[in-house]
């Protein structure tokens, strides 16, 4: 059991959580949720021992092994990839490393022999003779090919290195596992593998994620950071939301009933308080008021943007024709891609990382020229594109404010219209004048979405639009895309978003071509025989 006792933490005068006492039990998997800035990552660092609380303490059973998903891949860039994973069990790795050095030294006296015997005991206790097999199985599940196992971590791209660090955190069956955004940089197949792996985990799991499907699938409980407290609910994220709303409504009704009772008692006191014959009754009512306790309903820190995409013009029925599209970068990425998209269709593009999903969107957006083939937009089609790499549109060297950056996309809009749009996207007046270079990841995404609501395009190309958004913002985006009366081409690893939005699924298969499936993502999984893996 991981126990939290009277923990308080504040930053710059803002209280994140106040006097929190809770516990996390083995065999339970907890989703740690809350709005951006609520303190989820701070709380995770306190649990990991990387940050001290202002007051209170964290305790866990002696000899329990804690594993944390680290993000600093530069620390291991010269180490072999398989070894990086095994380093997840520090006790085992220390024993293996010392054993190897003793054997290399070639000194086989009695003392060395005894030490080697002690190390063998540690290796056996930590299941070290299966370590390489387990490490390779984790790497394969997360999409790291066999050819990389012996190579240094520096041989991989940044996103793939983080997959290795995730394998490191999962290695060796830790007693307590802390994962902060483990699905970042994973494609959908890898996310589904991780879901299946974690469903079998028997220790204490605490995970932060902005992937609603992932939380609903994996978590047995949800620990919600809100109202300067952490309240644990049974079930996944959707279950927590329902219980949270029901509790809030019930407490509001209870408070209203109590307030009515207090008003009635005060009215009696005002009418008869000076009446000597009813003085005792008035005093009794004063005592009754003192006993009535109202629930302190602190203001929630959850905010939800208002997102709406309204096309300024309607496109023709045929929105896009792709005919034998080819694109290469040293090696072929897209080959002979041929399909059409009709008005109102919402197409999710899926496939492993590196298969060409972003390349396809860039070709359609006119950023890349196809090597061969044709891309023909239909009548009155206007394209709104949101790239995965936000610096393609918002440079960190840009000196514009958020207001100035958004205003440039429609100089005919009034100041009130731009500021109103920013307000609906959770930019208060002061933040509207913040330099775009200083925006957080979530603020940057909301600004990019605001641009698309302003330009009113009828064909939206969205590449990983949920990156950096909190769960409430993702829900708002999902509902906006469901209501969108134009056409959508979407790349996302968020399964809930694809499940609820897509009407077609385009699967890219690299050298094996592609397939266009009519139907939603659930139907796509069934047709391809992968639904049983969910």
Structural domains for the chain? 1-64+175-264 (3.40.50.300), 78-173 (no CATH), 318-533 (3.40.50.300)
Q: Which pLDDT value is given to residue 293?
A: 81
Average pLDDT across the chain, whole number: 89
Query: What span, in angstroms and rounded, lies between the C-alpha atoms of 448 and 513?
Result: 32
What is the structure's pLDDT at 301?
A: 63
Q: What pLDDT is recorded for position 525?
A: 86
CB 436 within 8 A of CB 401: yes
pLDDT given at position 45: 93
* Phi-psi group of 456: left, alpha or beta (phi > 0 → left; psi -120 to 50 → alpha; rest → beta): left
Q: Give the pLDDT of residue 531.
A: 59
Instruction: Indicate if the pLDDT at residue 220 is higher than 90.
Output: yes
Q: What's residue 189's pLDDT?
A: 85
Tell me, what's the pLDDT at 158? 79
Please state the pTM of the whole predicted model.
Answer: 0.79
* Rounded mean pLDDT, 80-104: 91
pLDDT tens track for 122-156? 999 999 999 999 999 999 999 899 999 999 999 98
Name the least confident of 137-151, 235-249, 263-277, 362-376. 263-277
* C-alpha distances in Å from residue 374, one per residue of 255, 323, 421, 459: 65, 5, 37, 18
DSSP strand pairing (14-24 vs 2-11):
antiparallel
Pairing, β 29-33 against β 221-226 = parallel
pLDDT above 50 (res 360)? yes
Is the model's pLDDT at 222 over the cut of 70? Answer: yes
**Segment 14-54, tens digit of pLDDT:** 888 889 999 999 999 999 998 877 889 899 999 999 999 99
Q: What average pLDDT does the segment 489-498 reach?
A: 92
> Residue 298's pLDDT is what?
66
pLDDT at 31: 95
Query: What are the pLDDT digits (tens) for 58-88?
Result: 998 888 899 999 877 788 989 999 999 999 9
SS (H, E, C) 452-471: HHHHCCCEEEEECCCCCCCH
Higher per-residue pLDDT: 266 or 420: 420
Closest to 354 in 3D by CA, of 501, 163, 79, 75: 163
Residue 39 confidence (pLDDT): 87
Percentage of the chain modeled with pLDDT above 70: 97
Q: Give the confidence band of 202 by pLDDT, cuts at 50, 70, 90.
A: very high
Could you report the per-residue pLDDT of 230-252, keeping only the tens digit for each? 989 999 998 988 888 787 777 77
Give the pLDDT of residue 533.
47
- Determine the Cα–Cα distance for residues 452 and 448; give it in Å rounded to an integer: 7
Compute the average pLDDT of residues 344-369: 93
pLDDT higher than threshold 70 for residue 274: yes
Q: What percent of the chain has pLDDT over 90?
A: 56
Please say if the pLDDT value at position 362 is more than 70.
Answer: yes
- Predicted local distance difference test score (pLDDT) of residue 299: 63
Burial of 271 (0-12, 13-18, 19+ CB in 10 A): exposed
Average pLDDT over residues 360-387: 94
As a whole number of angstroms, the distance between CA 526 and CA 518 comes to 12
Tens of pLDDT, residue by residue over 284-315, are: 888 888 888 877 666 666 678 999 999 999 99
pLDDT score, position 530: 67
CA distance linking residue 470 with residue 208, whole number of Å: 11
Mean pLDDT to the nearest integer, 251-264: 83
């Amino acid at each position: 059991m991981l126990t939290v006792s009277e923990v308080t933490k504040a930053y710059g005068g803002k209280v994140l959580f106040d006097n929190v006492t809770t516990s996390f039990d083995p065999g339970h998997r907890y989703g740690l949720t809350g709005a951006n800035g609520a303190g989820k990552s701070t709380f995770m660092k306190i649990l990991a021992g990387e940050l001290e609380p202002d007051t209170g303490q964290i305790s866990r059973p002696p000899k329990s092994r804690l594993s944390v998903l680290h993000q600093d891949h530069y620390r291991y860039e010269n180490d072999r990839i398989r070894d990086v994973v095994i380093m997840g069990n520090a006790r085992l790795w220390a024993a293996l490393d010392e054993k190897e050095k003793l054997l290399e030294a070639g000194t086989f006296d009695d003392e060395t022999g005894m030490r080697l015997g002690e190390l063998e005991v540690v290796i056996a206790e930590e299941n070290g003779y299966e370590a390489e097999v387990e490490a390779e199985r984790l790497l394969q599940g997360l999409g790291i090919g066999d050819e990389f196992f012996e190579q240094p971590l520096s041989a991989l791209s940044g996103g793939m290195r983080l997959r290795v660090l995730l394998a490191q955190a999962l290695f060796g069956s830790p007693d307590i596992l802390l994962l902060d955004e483990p699905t970042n940089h994973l494609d959908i197949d890898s996310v589904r593998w991780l879901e299946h792996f974690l469903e079998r985990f028997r220790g204490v799991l605490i995970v932060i994620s902005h992937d609603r499907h992932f939380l609903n699938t994996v978590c047995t409980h949800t620990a919600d950071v809100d109202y300067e407290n952490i309240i644990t609910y049974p079930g996944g994220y959707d279950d927590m939301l329902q219980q949270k709303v029901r509790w809030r409504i019930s407490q509001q009704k209870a408070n209203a009933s109590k307030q009515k009772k207090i008003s009635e008692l005060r009215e009696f006191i005002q009418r008869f308080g000076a009446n000597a014959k009813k003085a005792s009754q008035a005093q009794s009512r004063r005592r009754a008021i003192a006993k009535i306790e109202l629930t302190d309903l602190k203001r929630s820190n959850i905010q939800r943007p208002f997102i709406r995409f309204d096309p300024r013009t309607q496109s023709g029925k045929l929105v896009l024709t792709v005919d034998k599209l080819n694109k290469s970068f040293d090696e072929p990425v897209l080959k002979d891609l041929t399909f059409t998209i009709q008005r109102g269709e919402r197409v999710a593009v899926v496939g492993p990382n590196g298969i060409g999903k972003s390349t396809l969107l860039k070709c359609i957006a006119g950023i890349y020229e196809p090597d061969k083939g044709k891309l023909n937009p239909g009548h009155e089609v206007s394209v709104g594109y949101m790239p995965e790499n936000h610096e393609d549109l918002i440079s960190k060297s840009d000196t514009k404010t958020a207001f100035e950056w958004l205003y440039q996309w429609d100089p005919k809009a009034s100041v009130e219209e731009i500021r109103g749009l920013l307000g609906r996207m959770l930019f208060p007046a002061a933040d509207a004048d913040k330099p775009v270079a200083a925006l957080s990841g979530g603020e940057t995404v909301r600004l990019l979405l605001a641009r698309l609501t302003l330009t009113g395009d009828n064909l939206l190309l969205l590449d990983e639009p949920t990156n950096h958004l909190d769960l409430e913002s993702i829900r708002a985006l999902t509902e906006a895309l469901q209501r969108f009366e134009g056409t959508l081409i979407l790349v996302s690893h968020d399964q809930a978003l694809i499940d609820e939005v897509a009407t077609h699924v385009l699967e890219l298969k690299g050298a094996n071509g592609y397939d266009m499936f009519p139907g939603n993502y659930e139907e796509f999984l069934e047709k391809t025989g992968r639904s049983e893996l969910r």
